[in-house]
């Protein structure tokens, strides 16, 4: 018998960012070759009856094989991070190539390519982190790197070793505008954070649970407003990462209403966890330290509304994996270290889709199409990968999350696949989980086992912004 396809995902309900339809998906040579009812025979079949068939997730914010400015390496590399992502339904991620001061950006990116080649499990791109916008970096490296498929870069308004002055931000925005690159901004007012922190430390409030108070929502709101203003002055497109609070949403809402080129994301931790979750004594609470910090229940409600009404464009994990009980992780400066010297960040690659589906779609806050837009299509579009990624369409890469919408799972780190030793979501009850994940036509996760080798993931050269 001749077979028309390498793979057919049969009998499922295809969900895209715009519609939901009963369709078979036929795959040939790693791409979607046909969509229709009763497609012909295939070498391999996936029975998707009772399942949702969605574009594989695109995680546009994660830290993989990244060395921090203080020298710590993230726990996940391109293999462990990729496997973990795939087991949660994500088939593409865009980690950072992080420049430290004094480095040429082109050398930095070459190093991240070496880290990914032979290790990557899913497809990947790189956002650049610019901490030293020297003339040669902006005039020579950046144009080359954008042309090589990295048309996005992140700048920091906080963290001593990374932050840019407003003037440097303007230089970066102007260069990005010339190159049609997106500028991602970590928006927190550095001096406000430093001032608040010194008051807490002086009062003896050094434990991890005091971290949220050290980085007030006002500091995030002010910096978000300033970042949008500076981007506007330089004519650049700006993307506000990890929005956590109402004070940051306000200038985004205003800028969007004015038709400015402003986009923004939030992350599951800001939707599901709050500062109250970490208001207990002891080092254990270090697992919740991230910046911006966890906020309040009213902030969570505002973020959900902003996802539903389009103020926020996507949900990324900000997977920043530092193990809790590890001297190369949160314990780098000991269990009695003040919160200021504990590495920032929490893991979330694998749980991003399950958490958003369970808390968003199952609880009626989002439609299934909004879920697809927020987790896959919008990041693919904004970062120059659409329709190769983020779509179920003939010609697109056959990256699919075949979803069991009824499966109930109590989150347990023991069942996850990253290289971490905790999840901040331990014990959470969820509904909806990937039954199978398909990457370029290969079943890489069948709900029980991982299939595929390190190095199967490919670099995705991304296109610059259209205007």
- Which residues contact ligand URP by CB under 6 A? 63, 186, 242, 290-291, 318, 320, 344-345
Of residues 55 and 343, the one with the C-beta less far from Zn ion = 343
Give the pairing of strands 429-439 and 442-445. antiparallel
| Residue 186 vs 389, nearer CB to Zn ion | 186
DSSP string covering 122-173, please? Answer: SEE--EEE-S---HHIIIIIHHHHHHTT--EEEEESSSTTTB--HHHHHHHH
- The nearest distance, CB 320 to Zn ion, in angstroms, is 5
User: Cα(110)–Cα(94) distance, rounded to whole angstroms?
Assistant: 15
- Least gap, CB of 54 to ligand URP (angstroms): 26
Within its chain, how far is the Cα of 191 from the centroid? 27
Give the x-and-dash track for 131-170 against Zn ion (CB under 5 A).
----------------------------------------
Contacted entry of ligand URP, Zn ion, none for residue 246, CB cut-off 5 to 8 Å set by kind:
none
Q: H/E element holding 400?
A: strand 400-410
Among ligand URP, Zn ion, none, residue 187 binds (CB under 5-8 Å by kind): none
Are 193 and 214 within 8 A, CB to CB? yes
In 3D space, the residue among 316, 312, 303 whose CA is nearest the CA of residue 154 turns out to be: 316
**Which residue's CB is nearer to ligand URP, number 106 or number 242?**
242
Q: Please, which residue, 23 or 320, has the CB nearer to ligand URP?
A: 320
CA-closest candidate to residue 440, choices 389, 371, 393: 389
Give Cα 265 to chain centroid, integer Å.
Answer: 9
Rounded distance, CA 265 to CA 378, Å? 10
* Alpha carbon distance, N-terminus to C-terminus of the chain: 50
Residue 164 CB, shortest distance to ligand URP, in Å, is 14
Residue 270 backbone dihedrals phi, psi, to 5 degrees:
-80, -20
| Among 318, 350, 399, 418, interactor with Zn ion by CB under 5 A | 318
Q: Which of residues 2-61 bind Zn ion (CB under 5 A)?
A: none
Q: Is 10 or 319 the residue whose CB approaches Zn ion more closely?
A: 319
As measured in angstroms, the least distance from the Cβ of 251 to Zn ion is 17
CA distance 210 to 340: 10
The nearer residue to ligand URP, 318 or 350, going by C-beta atoms, is: 318
Residues with Cβ < 8 Å from 220, sequence gap 6 or more? Answer: 187, 188, 189, 243, 244, 245, 247, 248, 292
Nearest distance in Å: CB 12, ligand URP? 35
Distance from C-alpha of 460 to C-alpha of 36, rounded to nearest angstrom: 28
**Cβ distance to Zn ion smaller for residue 62 or 355:** 62
Question: Using CB distances below 5 to 8 A depending on partner kind, what does residue 321 bind out of Zn ion, ligand URP, none?
Answer: none
> Smallest gap, in angstroms, from Cβ of residue 340 to ligand URP?
13
Give the separation between CA 290 and CA 440, rounded to whole angstroms.
33
Check residue 265 for interaction with Zn ion (CB under 5 A).
no
Binding piece for Zn ion, criterion CB under 5 A, among 206-214, 260-268, 318-326, 424-432: 318-326
Q: Which is nearer to ligand URP, 141 or 318 (CB)?
A: 318
CA angle 378-156-330, nearest 5°?
A: 95
Angle at 323 between CA 317 and CA 325, to 5 degrees: 150
Closer residue to Zn ion (CB): 220 or 318:
318
Site for Zn ion in 174-233 (CB under 5 A): 186
| Residue 56 contacts which entry, Zn ion, ligand URP, none (Cβ below 5-8 A, type-dependent) | none
Closest distance between ligand URP and the C-beta of residue 264, in Å?
14
CB of 156 to ligand URP, least distance (A): 7
Question: In whole angstroms, how close is the CB of 127 to ligand URP at the nearest point?
Answer: 11
Site of interaction with Zn ion (CB under 5 A): 186, 318
């Amino acid at each position: 018998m001749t077979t028309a396809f390498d793979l057919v995902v049969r009998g499922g309900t295809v969900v895209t960012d715009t519609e939901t339809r009963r369709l078979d998906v036929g795959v040939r040579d790693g791409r979607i070759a046909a969509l229709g009812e009763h497609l012909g025979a295939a070498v391999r079949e996936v029975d998707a009856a009772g399942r949702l068939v969605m574009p594989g997730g695109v995680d546009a914010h994660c830290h993989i094989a990244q060395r921090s400015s203080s020298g710590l390496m993230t726990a996940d590399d391109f293999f462990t991070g990729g496997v973990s992502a795939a087991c949660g339904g994500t088939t593409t991620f865009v980690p950072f190539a992080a420049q430290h001061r004094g480095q040429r950006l082109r050398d930095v990116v070459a190093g991240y390519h070496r880290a990914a080649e032979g290790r990557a499990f899913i497809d990947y791109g790189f956002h650049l982190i610019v901490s030293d916008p020297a003339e040669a970096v902006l005039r020579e490296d950046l144009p080359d790197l954008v042309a090589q498929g990295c048309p996005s870069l992140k700048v920091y308004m906080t963290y001593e070793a990374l932050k840019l002055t407003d003037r440097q931000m303007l230089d970066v925005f102007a260069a990005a505008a010339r190159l049609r690159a997106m500028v991602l901004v970590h928006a927190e007012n550095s001096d406000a954070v430093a001032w608040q922190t010194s008051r807490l430390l002086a009062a003896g409030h050094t434990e991890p649970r005091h971290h949220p108070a050290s980085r007030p929502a006002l500091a995030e709101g002010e910096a978000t407003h300033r970042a949008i203003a500076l981007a506007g002055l330089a004519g650049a497109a700006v993307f506000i990462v990890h929005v956590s609070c109402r004070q940051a949403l306000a200038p985004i809402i205003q800028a969007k209403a004015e038709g400015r080129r402003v986009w923004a994301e939030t992350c599951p931790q800001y939707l599901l966890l709050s500062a109250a979750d970490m208001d207990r004594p002891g080092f254990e609470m270090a697992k919740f330290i991230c910046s911006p910090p966890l906020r309040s229940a009213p902030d969570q409600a505002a973020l959900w509304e902003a996802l539903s009404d389009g103020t926020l464009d996507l949900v990324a994990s900000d997977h920043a994996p530092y193990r809790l009980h590890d001297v190369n992780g949160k314990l780098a400066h000991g269990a009695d270290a003040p919160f200021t010297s504990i590495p920032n960040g929490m893991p979330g690659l694998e749980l991003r889709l399950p958490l958003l589906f369970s808390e968003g779609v199952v609880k009626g806050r989002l439609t299934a199409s909004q879920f697809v837009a927020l987790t896959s299509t919008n990041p693919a579009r904004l970062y120059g990968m659409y329709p190769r990624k983020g779509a179920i369409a003939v010609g697109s890469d056959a990256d699919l999350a075949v979803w069991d919408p009824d499966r109930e799972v109590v989150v347990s780190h023991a069942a996850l696949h990253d290289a971490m030793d905790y999840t901040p979501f331990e014990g959470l009850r969820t509904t909806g989980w990937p039954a199978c994940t398909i990457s370029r036509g290969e079943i890489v996760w069948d709900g029980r086992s991982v299939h595929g080798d390190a190095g199967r993931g490919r670099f995705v050269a991304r296109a610059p912004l259209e205007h």
